[in-house]
Chain A
């Protein structure tokens, strides 16, 4: 089905008028692909989708959830976690508290990766961990902390690289058992996160598009990986400004390894790879 830019504009405006969601700052290309997918998933034409947005609140909620992309894994991109371990979190070790916000936390794997790393570094007690997503379905999955075992073998490869191996010295191998953090039940095909980690997180619904910091605190570290790629430049700038205002002095923002901050906000951070440190 061919979707025109007029169709897309109509859908965005209709959603704005009939729901709390605003997709006008999303990158048009990816938004169009998500709508295209929705026409298949719901078996509806564009006109039918528009009609339903006006009358069916539950449908609109489902549609909005389908528009956001949810991809995450435990210790995704081990080099990011090496950087966090040896260049970022180590600097916070003398802090009385370490406040962390995972923005766009999806199904929670990144959050639990962080908790595991903090625990290995002896920093878990000091950490206050907040996680947010626009999609309440993925937040529910995140809270449960139960993931498929079979299709996620790379979780363990990543775990080994980040937790067991020392990237600076390959002879140095720490045999941290998986059972320290997970209950693995192969016959049920599940990996479950242990309770002592799950208890540490505050999960909240939050929409980066139209909400600023709702947490009543500032942060030492904000992670927002592979979320900005779905936004246009203006919305990216606005969201980065929210993060900037939410960081303590010298606080750190981590974005995806193939994302970069462009425009005026770039001057407000010192950049080193994907690590952005708030200037004083």
Chain B
């Protein structure tokens, strides 16, 4: 068990959970975290600042072809898809919306799955559409670990239930258990 990358997807009802996760992780948390979160179309600015307030690790919106470093959380910028290139780079694109979304969780997850294989942990949180279900299946198929937030706990269940239906996921966890797990795997790095 040697996980080097974490990717988290969420939509409606996930903001609080993401904030909880980022505030619970210690300042010296090493594993880079990619956040692919839907946001309302007109709220484009201020999201990274809002997430940063309570986060112990640095949250950034990456530039295209930015090198991935430990100890950072990378938030998919509004209105771009976020991809991962072999060679440890992030790539951005303005290709058309997928699942009515840009960034689309399916795109980021499938790309991360292909680039990081068994070194990846994919986590789907609360959300109001089915984006992410395909992406998480790709994480599983490429040997990564799949976690879904317990739908019982989600403000909106659609996204987590779709993910569970599409994939034989490894764990269905409460957000508390997700945090515990993330802290545990960091100790192995």
Contacts and interface: CB of A to CB of B under 8 A. Distances in A.
B65 A79 contact: no
A17 to B, nearest CB: 27
B85 interface: yes
Contacts of B62: 258
Interface stretch (B91-99, B135-143, B157-165, B180-188): B91-99
Contacts of B91: 27, 29-30, 229
Interface residues of A, number: 22
A154 B42 contact: yes
A136 interface: no
B31 to A, nearest CB: 23
Contact of A71 (B44, B63, B96): B96
Contact of A228 (B42, B64, B79): B64
Contact of B64 (A76, A157, A259): A259
Contacts of A259: 63-64
A179 B45 CA distance: 28
A30 B64 CA distance: 12
Interface in B82-113: 83, 85, 91-96, 111
A69 to B, nearest CB: 5
B64 A69 contact: no
Interface in A236-280: 256-260, 262
Given A79-B45, A157-B42, A233-B65, A258 B85 contact: no
A71 B79 CA distance: 10
A137 to B, nearest CB: 15
A233 B93 CA distance: 15
A229 B92 contact: yes
Interface in A214-231: 226, 228-230
A233 B95 CA distance: 20
B95 to A, nearest CB: 5
Nearest to B94: A71
Contacts of A230: 93
Interface string B30-70: 00000000000110110000000000000001111100000
Contacts of B64: 228-229, 256, 258-260
Contacts of A229: 64-65, 91-94
A62 B45 CA distance: 37
Given A79-B45, A258-B61, A33 B95 contact: yes
Contact of A258 (B42, B77, B95, B96): B77
Contacts of A226: 94
Contacts of B77: 257-258
A79 B78 CA distance: 13
A157 B93 CA distance: 23
Contacts of B83: 29-30
B151 to A, nearest CB: 31
Given A30-B93, A229-B94, A260 B63 contact: yes
A228 B65 CA distance: 10
A46 to B, nearest CB: 18
Interface in A137-173: 154, 157
B62 to A, nearest CB: 7
Contacts of B61: 258
A262 B93 contact: no
A262 B65 contact: yes
A154 B44 CA distance: 11
B80 interface: yes
Contacts of A30: 83, 91, 93, 95
A223 to B, nearest CB: 15
A109 B92 CA distance: 21
Nearest to B84: A29
A18 B45 CA distance: 45
A173 to B, nearest CB: 18
Contacts of B94: 69, 71, 226, 229
5 contacts: A226-B94, A229-B94, A258-B62, A258-B64, A258-B92
Interface of A: 27, 29-30, 33, 69, 71, 76-77, 79, 154, 157, 226, 228-230, 233, 256-260, 262
Interface of B: 41-42, 44-45, 61-65, 77, 79-80, 83, 85, 91-96, 111
